A and B are shown apart, each in its own frame.
Chain A
Amino acid sequence: MSEYIIKNGSVFDPVQGIKGDKKDIAIKDGKIADKVSSAAKVIDASGKTVMAGAVEIHAHIAGPKVNLGRIYRPEDKLFSCTPTKGMERMGGGASIPTTFKTGYEYAKMGYTTAMEAAMPPMFAKHVHEEIRDTPIIDEGAFPVFGNNWFVLEYLKNHEIENTAAYIAWLLRVTKGYAVKVVNPGGTEAWAWGLNCLSVNDPVPYFDITPAEIVKGLIEANEYLGLPHSVHIHPNNLGNPGCYETTLDTLRLAEGMKAKNKFGRESVMHLTHTQFHSYKGTNWGDFESGAKEITDYVNQNKNITIDTGNVTLDETTTMTADGPFEHHLTGLNHLKWANCDVELETCAGVVPYIYSPNISVCAIQWAIGLEIPLMMKDPMRCYITTDHPNAGPFTRYPRVIKWLMSKKARDTQINAFKHKDKVLSQTSIGSLDKELSLYELAQMTRAGPAKTLGLGHMCGGLKPGMDADVAVYNFNPDKPVANPDDIETAFSRCAHVFKSGVEVVKHGEIVGTGHKRTLWVNVKVNDNPQVMRDINEKFIKYYSMTQANYEALGHHFVPNPYALEVDATHV
C-alpha cells in the first residue's frame, strides 16, 4: 500500500492532546505510522488544518424508512441531481440523497465513519444493501429494541440474561452494531392507537413501562459489554415541556457504570437532544430547556449526548417514533407515510420546512446551538443534525460556522422574523462562547469514536490507528475575516484519506477506498429458552421464516468488520 506524509499542517488531535501544533502525519499500510520511507508521497498541509476523519454517531442514511422518503418525495431530487463526473456516479436528493451521493458528500466534508441510527431488524437486509451501495465511509447500523416483543416480554419479568442473549442473537443475524431505543413502548402503543408520553405510561397488553424497558436494556447492554452504550431517543419527543420526560429518562441511568473493554465510559447516549429540550406548555409559550438538560448531563459523567441541530432547511423527518410523525402531519398538513414492522417497530415520514420566519423553528435552531455551547465536556457532546430530521447532514459546515463564530450566530438571529422571541425564549444571545478547533475535533472525532467503542480505531491520529485523515483549507493562525470562510473550508476538504487511501483531493472524489460494514459479534452462553422463544415467534407471528431472516453473506455485507465481544464468562 502507498505511503504518505502530510507535512506541516496544524494538527488537532484530542486522542494525543495535540492542539494545533505543526506536525507531520505519516500513513503506511492503511494505518497512522511513526515514520515512513523516503518514497512516501508528500502532501503539503502548511497553512491547513489536519484532523482525524470525522465520525457520525447518528444519521438516517440507509434502509426502508430512508427509501420510503426517497420514493414518496420525488420533489426532493428536483434540481439537486449531479451527473456522472470522474469517479463519481450520478447522485441526487437534497434531504434524502441517493446512497452514492451520501457517501461522496460525507467524504468531501472529511467524514470517514457513519452510523445508521435506526435499523428495523426485519429489514436489516435492505439496510445492508444500501450500506453496501454507499461508497467510501465505514458504516454500522443500530437495530431498534425499544418496542420489540421479545424485549418487552423478557424485561417485564426483568430477565436480563435472556434479554442479553436475544440482543446477541439479533446483532448477529442483522449484522447490527448497537442497542437503539426509540420512544420506548410508545411505538408499540401506537399500534393500539396510543402513545407513551412519560417514562411511567404503561404499554398496552405488555403492561411494562418505558422506564423498565430503558433500565433493563442498559443492564443487558453492560452485562454483554457492548462497544456502544444504549442509544436512546426518549418518549415525548418534540412537545413543549418534554424536557421533564427527558430528565426522567436520564435519571434511569443513575448509579449505572459502563462495563466494556473498548474504553467507553457512558451507559446512555441521548440522541438529538435539541428535540428533547423544550420547556413551555404550548407552541405559544414554547421556550428552551437546554440549560436544565445540559446542567444534568454536565453533572452525570455516565451520559453522552448529540445535538440534533436545526439547520433552517426544507427537509424530510423520519423516525421509528410512529406516533410522533402522525402528530407532526396534523401540525403541518404535509404528506405522511407510515410503515409498521410486525413484532419489532414502525416508522413514519413527513416533510418539514424549518422556516426562519416561524418563531418555533427559530427557537429550535437556537436550542440546538445552546446545547453544545453549554456542555462543559466536549468529549461527551457530539454534533449531529439527526439527518435528515433537523436538517441534512450536508449542513454540518454551517452548524460548525455557527458554533465557531458568535458573529455568524448574531447575523442569523438578526435575520429571524421573530428575533425578539428567539432572544426572550432562549439564552442564545448571551452565549459568547466560540468553539475552538480542538473542541470541534472532540465533538466530531475523538468523542463519538470513544462512545461508539471505536476509540482504538478511529477518531484520532495516534500511530497504529486507522489512517482516516482530513485536511481542511483552514489556517488556524490567521484570524477569520468572514465567518462564511469557516463554512467553505469545512464543506470541501483539501485531502481525505480513508484507511490510508486518498479518497478526496481538492474537494473531488479520487478514490472509493475499501468501505467496511462495522458490526458487533457477541459470544454468549447457550440459551435454549431464548432460541425456543425465537423459533416459536417465527412460527406463530412473523410473516417470514427464521431461515429468511438473517442478513447473510457477500451480497449483504461484502466487507464486514466485526468487533468481537466475549460475554460467555459472565
Chain B
Amino acid sequence: METVTITMKNPPALYLEADNVTPDVFAGKTAAQIAELHVHEGNTTSTLGKYFEVSGNAGATVADTKIVVKGDVKKVKYLGMKMSAGEMVIEGSADQYVGAWMTGGKLLAKGNVEAFAATAMRGGELIVEGNAGNYLGAAYRGDWRGMSSGKILVKGNAGSDIGMYMTGGEIVVNGNVDVHVMTHAEGGKTVIKGNTKSKLGGQLVDGTIIVFGNIETMMPGYKPNGEVELEVDGVKALFSHYIGDMGERHKKKKGAIVYGNLYKKI
C-alpha cells in the first residue's frame, strides 16, 4: 500500500471544501498531480497544493492507496467523501461530512469530527477517537436514506440525531449522546455505552438501540417487554426490553408485527 501524506501549511480563512481528498480520486496519481486537484474556499476554486504540502505518490488502485492528513484541518469539510476502498487517517480534528456517502475502506479520525460524518454511509468503517458531532450516520437533509451498511465507532461522545433514517449497519458510541437517536430508522443498530437524553427511537419503524447508561426521558411510544440477557461487544448483561415506536407504522413478518427494539442495561 502506498501512502500519500498531505500536511496543512496554509490554513484557509473560510471553510475549505476538499471532497477530492479520497483514495478514489488520489489513486494512480503522483504527488504533483494530487497537488493540482481542485478545492473550494468560499466561491473561489483553487488547488489542493495551495493549502497542503503533498508528499508521496498514490497506489495504482484505490485499495492500494492510503492517505494521511496532518496539521490543522478543523476548517476542512468532506474529507474521505464517497471513498470506496483504501485507507485514510486524519491525525487531528476535522469539520463536517467526514466519510460522508462512503461505501468502503477504512477511515480513522484521531481527533473530533463535526456534524454529518458518514452521512448515508453504505459500507466500510469509520473510527473517531475523539467526539462526533450531530447527524452521525444520518440521512442527508430532506432525504430518507440514512446509513445502510458499514460500521461506525466513536470513542468519545456523539451529538444529536445520530442514525436518523438508518436502514442498516452499526453505530457504537463509547461515550454519551445528545437527543434523538435513530429517528425514523427502518433497520440497523446503535449501541450507546454512556448516557442518553431523550427521544430515543422516535418514529422508529424497525431497528435496535442498546443503552448501557441512563435514559433521561423515555419516549411515550415504547412498551415494556420484559427483561433479556444480551451479549454486546463481549459484555454479557441483563437489559430491560422495550418495543416501539407504537405511534409509527410497522412491517409484518409471517403475520406478526415487527417492532423496533430498545434495550436499557439494568
Q: Which residue numbers of A lie inside 8 Å of B, CB to CB?
A: 72-76, 78, 333-335, 351
Binary contact track B68-91/A, C-beta < 8 Å → 1, others 0:
000000000000000000000000
In Å, the complex CA distance between A353 and B118 comes to: 24
Are the C-beta atoms of A74 and B141 separated by less than 8 Å?
yes
Which chain A positions have C-beta within 8 A of B144? 334-335, 351
In Å, the complex CA distance between A531 and B143 comes to: 47
Which chain B positions have C-beta within 8 A of A335? 142, 144
Binary contact track B124-148/A, C-beta < 8 Å → 1, others 0:
0000000000000001111110000
Are the C-beta atoms of B142 and A73 separated by less than 8 Å?
yes
Are the C-beta atoms of A75 and B140 separated by less than 8 Å?
yes
In Å, the complex CA distance between A334 and B186 comes to: 13
Are the C-beta atoms of B142 and A72 separated by less than 8 Å?
yes
The majority secondary structure among interface residues of chain B is loop
A-B contact pairs, 18 of them (CB 8 A): A72-B142, A73-B142, A74-B140, A74-B141, A74-B142, A75-B139, A75-B140, A75-B141, A75-B142, A75-B143, A76-B142, A78-B140, A78-B143, A333-B249, A334-B144, A335-B142, A335-B144, A351-B144
Chain A minimum-CB-distance residue to B139 = A75
Chain A minimum-CB-distance residue to B205 = A333
Chain B minimum-CB-distance residue to A330 = B249
Chain A minimum-CB-distance residue to B186 = A333
- Identify which of B139, B140, B142 gathers the most chain A CB atoms within 10 Å of its CB: B142
Give the size category of B's interface with A: under 10
Which chain A positions have C-beta within 8 A of B139? 75
B17 CB to closest chain A CB (Å) equals 12
In Å, the complex CA distance between A320 and B173 comes to: 46
Within 8 A of A (CB), among B112-169: 139-144
A88 CB to closest chain B CB (Å) equals 16
Binary contact track B43-80/A, C-beta < 8 Å → 1, others 0:
00000000000000000000000000000000000000
A306 CB to closest chain B CB (Å) equals 30
Which chain B positions have C-beta within 8 A of A333? 249
A93 CB to closest chain B CB (Å) equals 12
Which chain A positions have C-beta within 8 A of B249? 333
Chain B minimum-CB-distance residue to A75 = B143
B164 CB to closest chain A CB (Å) equals 13
Within 8 A of A (CB), among B234-266: 249
Which chain A positions have C-beta within 8 A of B140? 74-75, 78
Which chain A positions have C-beta within 8 A of B142? 72-76, 335
Chain B minimum-CB-distance residue to A77 = B142
B222 CB to closest chain A CB (Å) equals 21
Which chain B positions have C-beta within 8 A of A76? 142
Which chain B positions have C-beta within 8 A of A74? 140-142
B41 CB to closest chain A CB (Å) equals 14
Which chain A positions have C-beta within 8 A of B141? 74-75
B198 CB to closest chain A CB (Å) equals 24
Chain A minimum-CB-distance residue to B45 = A83
In Å, the complex CA distance between A73 and B144 comes to: 10
In Å, the complex CA distance between A72 and B143 comes to: 9
B82 CB to closest chain A CB (Å) equals 9
A96 CB to closest chain B CB (Å) equals 12
Closest 3 CB pairs of A and B: A75-B143, A74-B142, A75-B142
Chain A minimum-CB-distance residue to B40 = A83
Further 4 A-B residue pairs, CB within 8 A, beyond A78-B143, A334-B144, A351-B144 = A74-B141, A75-B141, A75-B142, A335-B142
In Å, the complex CA distance between A351 and B139 comes to: 15
Which chain B positions have C-beta within 8 A of A72? 142
In Å, the complex CA distance between A73 and B140 comes to: 10
In Å, the complex CA distance between A78 and B142 comes to: 10
Chain B minimum-CB-distance residue to A78 = B140
Which chain B positions have C-beta within 8 A of A351? 144
In Å, the complex CA distance between A489 and B47 comes to: 35
In Å, the complex CA distance between A74 and B140 comes to: 9
Chain A minimum-CB-distance residue to B119 = A78
In Å, the complex CA distance between A72 and B144 comes to: 12
Chain B minimum-CB-distance residue to A84 = B43
In Å, the complex CA distance between A441 and B56 comes to: 58
B231 CB to closest chain A CB (Å) equals 33
Chain B minimum-CB-distance residue to A83 = B45
In Å, the complex CA distance between A335 and B249 comes to: 14
Chain B minimum-CB-distance residue to A72 = B142
In Å, the complex CA distance between A74 and B116 comes to: 15
Which chain B positions have C-beta within 8 A of A73? 142
In Å, the complex CA distance between A78 and B140 comes to: 9
In Å, the complex CA distance between A76 and B139 comes to: 13
In Å, the complex CA distance between A76 and B145 comes to: 13
